[in-house]
């Protein structure tokens, strides 16, 4: 699963002619080439919006793609349409939720002006230096703070996007140039460094938790000195799980 941001003007609340808790914004802008060469083409959401409509379920509205904590499920998309500019959504915030109410104040105060969405690429094509996203599967729409792309989570997602590009290109029989090979090797090096950093952080948190548990727990009465404690299995960290790991780390640190 991948994400893509759109820096747009958001209209929110009665001052913009909407009901209390409602806002409108473009979750995606067509034809806008990002720094990684991705371009969403008009009509990319046609099939997925039809699927959402058939299901009868609302498209979730999240804060910062946080799927691990229900408090960050802020509301739902009431309507989503494609026009000549992009994917225009009208959403309703659940104002009974403290986080949704705070987000609503941020939107009305123009302190947050960026939207994003999570998706899978169902059809894409390399076109020169651009990667054309022709058919997408939409998972959710998120309100995100300006500058979210500088976080490590986005590096992981973008690395996953590059891997998806490789898979699509290989299926199409495309031969990579030396320039693309060098870029992919650089991404692989960054990914390896990220994996090590995250693994070290997870290990540190695990050791701290073990020490806290050891200091507050009494030794088992039937324990024998010659009994070896089995080692916990080593956790493997992959590109696809970095985003979730980072959210869990943030929640752990906030406790």
10-59 pLDDT, tens digit each:
778 887 788 899 999 999 999 988 777 889 999 999 999 999 999 999 99
Q: What pLDDT, on a 0 to 100 scale, did the predictor assign at position 236? A: 39
Q: What pLDDT, on a 0 to 100 scale, did the predictor assign at position 38? A: 87
Q: What pLDDT, on a 0 to 100 scale, did the predictor assign at position 82? A: 96
Domain boundary among 128, 148, 168: 148
Query: Both 197 and 129 in a single domain?
Result: no
Does residue 72 carry a pLDDT above 50?
A: yes
Q: What pLDDT, on a 0 to 100 scale, did the predictor assign at position 174? A: 53
H or E, element range at 81? strand 73-82
**pLDDT classification of 154: cutoffs 50, 70, 90:** very low
How many domains does the structure of the chain reveal? 2
Residue 219 in domain: no
Residue 248 in domain: yes
Residue 226 in domain: no
Query: Both 52 and 126 in a single domain?
Result: yes
Query: Both 43 and 106 in a single domain?
Result: yes
Q: Which one has a higher pLDDT value, 199 or 228?
A: 199
Query: Both 90 and 165 in a single domain?
Result: no
Q: What pLDDT, on a 0 to 100 scale, did the predictor assign at position 52? A: 97
For residue 134, with 0-12 CB atoms within 10 Å meaning exposed, 13-18 middle and 19 or more buried, which class applies?
A: middle
Query: Both 140 and 43 in a single domain?
Result: yes
Query: Both 124 and 169 in a single domain?
Result: no
CA–CA dist 15, 18 (Å, integer): 7
Q: What is the C-alpha end-to-end distance of the chain, expressed in Å? A: 28
Q: What pLDDT, on a 0 to 100 scale, did the predictor assign at position 17? A: 83
% of the chain beyond a pLDDT of 70: 54
Q: Are 33 and 39 in contact (CB under 8 A)?
A: yes
What is the pLDDT averaged over residues 130-142? 95
Picking from 52-56, 91-95, 154-158, 214-218, which range would have the lowest pLDDT averaged per residue?
Answer: 154-158
What is the pLDDT averaged over residues 221-232? 47
Query: Both 132 and 207 in a single domain?
Result: no
Query: Both 97 and 125 in a single domain?
Result: yes
Q: What pLDDT, on a 0 to 100 scale, did the predictor assign at position 172? A: 60
Q: Domain limits at 202?
A: 151-214+235-255
Residue 57 in domain: yes
Query: Both 45 and 143 in a single domain?
Result: yes
Domain boundary among 148, 166, 201: 148
Domain boundary among 148, 176, 199: 148
Residue 161 in domain: yes
Please, what is the average pLDDT of the chain? 74
Q: What pLDDT, on a 0 to 100 scale, did the predictor assign at position 109? A: 87
Query: Both 253 and 201 in a single domain?
Result: yes
Residue 223 in domain: no
Mark out the alpha helices in the chain (DSSP H runs).
46-55, 98-108, 152-171, 178-216, 242-254
Query: Both 85 and 62 in a single domain?
Result: yes
What is the pLDDT averaged over residues 118-138? 93
Return the top range by mean pLDDT from 108-117, 142-151, 200-209, 216-225. 108-117
Q: What pLDDT, on a 0 to 100 scale, did the predictor assign at position 66? A: 92
Q: What is each CA distance from 200 to 129, 194, 206, 236, 239, in whole angstroms?
A: 36, 10, 10, 12, 15
Residue 96 in domain: yes
């Amino acid at each position: 699963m991948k994400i893509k941001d759109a820096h747009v003007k958001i209209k929110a609340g009665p001052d913009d002619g909407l009901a209390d808790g409602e806002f409108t914004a473009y979750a995606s802008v067509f034809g806008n080439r990002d720094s990684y060469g991705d371009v969403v083409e008009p009509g990319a959401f046609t099939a997925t919006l039809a699927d959402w409509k058939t299901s009868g379920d609302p498209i979730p509205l999240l804060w910062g793609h946080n799927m691990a904590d229900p408090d960050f499920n802020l509301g739902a998309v009431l309507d989503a349409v494609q026009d000549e500019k992009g994917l225009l959504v009208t959403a309703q915030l659940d104002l009974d939720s403290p986080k949704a109410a705070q987000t609503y104040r941020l939107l009305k105060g123009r302190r947050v002006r960026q939207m994003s969405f999570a998706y899978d690429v169902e059809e894409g094509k390399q076109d020169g230096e651009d990667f054309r996203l022709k058919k997408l599967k939409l998972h959710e729409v998120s309100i995100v703070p300006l500058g979210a792309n500088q976080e490590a989570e986005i590096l992981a997602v973008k690395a996953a996007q590059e891997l998806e590009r490789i898979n699509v290109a290989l299926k199409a029989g495309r031969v990579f140039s030396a320039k693309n090979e060098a870029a992919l090797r650089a991404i692989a090096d960054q990914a390896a460094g990220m994996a090590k950093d995250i693994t070290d952080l997870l290990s540190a948190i695990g050791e701290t938790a073990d020490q806290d548990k050891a200091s507050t727990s009494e030794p088992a009465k039937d324990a024998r000195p010659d009994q070896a404690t089995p080692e916990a299995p080593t956790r493997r960290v992959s590109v696809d799980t970095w985003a979730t790991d980072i959210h869990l780390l943030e929640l752990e640190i906030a406790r």
